[in-house]
């Protein structure tokens, strides 16, 4: 039985949610973000705005732009509603922040063709949430995603089995998953601009250029993709960062903030039933410029203590200028399912205590909000920041978690 996969992409997600919630915004350019655009609607994009553009520049280009701070819980609620609609079609759904893959393989007798399932899904999503989504249908994740991309926004694209190679041939080489910015640049220097042109390159040449990744590209440019749909959400990274309300050189405030941000990030990883192995810390100085550094832990963890210990160690190594900080952030990568844990001669007792303490804190916070408990170094933030049930009120609220 050949695979059939549906890719659901939420068009301009944050901005679309804001428009769905407030009809007055309907025909106006809307952007969500703080400092830079996290998401902007298609009205704004037509005026030349794009994601990650600094808001100051966006305001100059588009003076009537409506800028909103956004709120993660609201977006999550909308996303969950769409994910539930996907799960009504098939049990095998892989979700991300603003997209989902649904495996349709073996549901033809039940639901009919992939294209008709896609059409139905778009209709129900629009009716129940008011949001536009683009649906792509294909024989692999890659083809489904590219099929959707070719009809964005608010469209439906389906590639019949056997036509994958013909369909992707004329697409720009950078659209091929796994090419990205750096490899795209190398390929374009070699006058390889479309996926069809990439197909003309022999496998050995690609391996010489990109190592083992070359083999993957060799298969992908022929429309072959073997990645499967995994029900578990496996983020590549979980990041939390914020600028300070007032630039600060107070070590306790910075450490408190890193503690708070890392505690939130690691809780997210833990909620997904996963563990992280690598900790990154990023700072920006008040006068501009910044530093970042990362290091892997000896053992993957889902607990706060080892992550904080590493984050503070990294901070010591990057905060070398005697200058106030404007921003601090933590991100966790190398995320994966839990493995056997190497026990420690000296910290076993502590680790076990932290495990049970973490479980207890999670139960309290799940019931009364993250802000219900402030612990450890984050206590230094109490007199410095306002607090709500959700936690401290940061200058840059997180929109992704």
Partner 1 sequence: MEFLTSKSDLSRTLEMVLHIVPPKTTLPVLSNLLLDVKKDSITVISTDLDTSVSTTLAGEVKKPGMVTVPARRLGEIVRLLPDKPIHISLQDETRIQIECGETKYRIMGIVEEEFPKIPTVQTRERLQLPAAMLRRMIAKTMFAVSRDETRPALNGVFWRIEPRRMEMVATDGYRLARMEKTGEFPVKGKKEFLVSPKALGQMINLSDDSEEMVDIKVDNNYLVFSFGGTVVYSRLLEGPFPRYEQVIPKDNNKNMITDRAAMMTSCRRVAILSDSLTHQVQVSVRKGAVVLKSNTPDLGEATDRLEAEYDEDEMDIGYNATYLADILKNIDGDRAKFRLDTPIKAGIIEPVEQEKDEHHLCLLMPLRLAE
Our finding on whether 204 is near partner 1 (CB under 8 A) is no
Helix (H) or strand (E) holding 69: none
Give bridge partners of residue 9 from the DSSP assignment. Answer: 99, 134
Number of residues located near partner 1, criterion CB under 8 A: 19
Site for partner 1 in 314-353 (CB under 8 A): 337-348
Which of 171, 227 has the CB closer to partner 1?
Answer: 227
Q: Is 187 helix (H, G, I), strand (E, B) or coil?
A: helix
Which of 57, 295 has the CB closer to partner 1?
Answer: 295
The residue whose two tokens read 């306790």 is: 252
Distance in Å, CB of 14 to partner 1, minimum: 35
What sections of 190-321 are H helices per DSSP? 195-199, 203-210, 212-220, 251-271, 304-318
Which of 60, 352 has the CB closer to partner 1?
Answer: 352
Query: Cα separation of 159 and 6, whole Å?
Result: 11
Distance in Å, CB of 342 to partner 1, minimum: 5
Catalytically annotated residue among 18, 94, 99, 255: 99
Does 255 qualify as catalytic in the annotation?
no
Q: What would the x/- binding string for partner 1 be over residues 174 to 203, using CB under 8 A?
A: ------------------------------
Distance in Å, CB of 252 to partner 1, minimum: 21
Q: Is the peptide bond before 153 cis (omega within 30 degrees of 0)?
A: yes
Q: How many residues in total does the chain contain?
A: 401
Give bridge partners of residue 30 from the DSSP assignment. Answer: 66
Which of 69, 344 has the CB closer to partner 1?
Answer: 344
Our finding on whether 368 is near partner 1 (CB under 8 A) is no
Sequence-distant (≥ 6) Cβ neighbours of residue 399 within 8 angstroms: 14, 32, 33, 38, 39, 70, 71, 72, 75
Give bridge partners of residue 166 from the DSSP assignment. Answer: none
Contacting residue, 33, 235, 256, 300, with partner 1 by CB under 8 A? 300
Site for partner 1 in 280-299 (CB under 8 A): 295, 298
**Sign of torsion over alpha carbons 84, 89, 95, 97:** negative
Site for partner 1 in 123-162 (CB under 8 A): none
Query: Cα separation of 295 and 337, whole Å?
Result: 19
Which of 151, 299 has the CB closer to partner 1?
Answer: 299
Query: Cα separation of 377 and 312, whole Å?
Result: 11
Q: What would the x/- binding string for partner 1 be over residues 239 to 278, using CB under 8 A?
A: --------------------------------------x-
CA dihedral of residues 372, 379, 262, 38 (deg, nearest 10): 70
Pairing of strands 30-34, 156-158: unpaired
Our finding on whether 208 is near partner 1 (CB under 8 A) is no
Stretch that binds partner 1, among 86-94, 134-142, 195-203, 309-317 (CB under 8 A): 309-317
Neighbours of 299 (CB within 10 A): 15
Which of 252, 295 has the CB closer to partner 1?
Answer: 295
Our finding on whether 310 is near partner 1 (CB under 8 A) is yes
- The residues that touch partner 1, with contacts defined as CB under 8 A, are 277, 295, 298, 300, 309-310, 313, 337-348
Which residues are identified as catalytic? 99
């Amino acid at each position: 039985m050949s695979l059939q996969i549906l890719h659901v992409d939420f068009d301009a997600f944050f901005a679309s949610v804001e428009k769905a919630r407030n009809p007055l915004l309907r025909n106006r350019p809307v952007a969500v973000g703080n400092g830079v655009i996290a998401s902007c609607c298609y009205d704004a994009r037509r005026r030349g705005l794009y994601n990650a553009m600094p808001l100051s520049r966006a305001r100059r280009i588009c003076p009537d732009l409506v800028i909103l701070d956004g709120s993660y819980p609201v977006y999550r609620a909308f996303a969950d509603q769409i994910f539930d609609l996907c799960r009504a079609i098939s049990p095998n759904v892989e979700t991300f922040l603003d997209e989902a893959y649904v495996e349709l393989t073996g549901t033809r007798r039940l639901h009919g063709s992939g294209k008709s399932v896609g059409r139905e899904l778009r209709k129900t999503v629009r009716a129940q949430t008011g949001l536009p989504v683009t649906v792509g249908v294909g024989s692999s994740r890659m083809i489904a995603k590219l099929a959707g991309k070719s009809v964005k926004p608010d469209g439906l694209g389906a590639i019949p089995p056997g036509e994958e190679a013909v369909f992707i041939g004329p697409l720009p080489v950078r659209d091929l998953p796994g090419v990205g910015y750096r490899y795209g640049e190398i390929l374009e220097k070699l006058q390889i601009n479309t996926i069809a042109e990439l197909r003309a390159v022999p496998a050995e040449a690609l391996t010489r250029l990109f190592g083992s990744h070359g083999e993957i590209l060799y298969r992908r440019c022929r429309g072959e993709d073997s990645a499967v749909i995994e029900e578990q959400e496996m983020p590549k990274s979980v990041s939390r960062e914020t600028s300070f309300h007032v630039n600060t050189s107070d070590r306790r405030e910075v450490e408190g903030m890193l503690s708070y941000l890392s505690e939130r990030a690691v809780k997210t990883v833990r909620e997904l039933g996963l563990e992280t192995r690598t900790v990154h810390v990023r700072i920006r100085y008040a006068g501009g410029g910044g530093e970042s550094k990362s290091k892997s832990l000896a053992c993957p963890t889902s607990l706060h203590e080892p992550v904080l210990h590493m984050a503070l160690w990294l901070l010591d190594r990057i905060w070398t200028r005697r200058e106030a900080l404007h921003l601090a952030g933590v991100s966790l990568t190398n995320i994966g399912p839990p493995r056997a844990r190497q026990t420690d001669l000296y910290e076993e007792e502590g680790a076990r205590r932290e495990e049970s303490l973490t479980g207890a804190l999670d139960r309290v916070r799940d019931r009364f909000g993250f802000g219900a408990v402030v612990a450890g170094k984050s206590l230094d933030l109490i007199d410095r920041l306002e607090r709500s049930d959700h936690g401290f009120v940061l200058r840059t609220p997180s929109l992704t978690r």
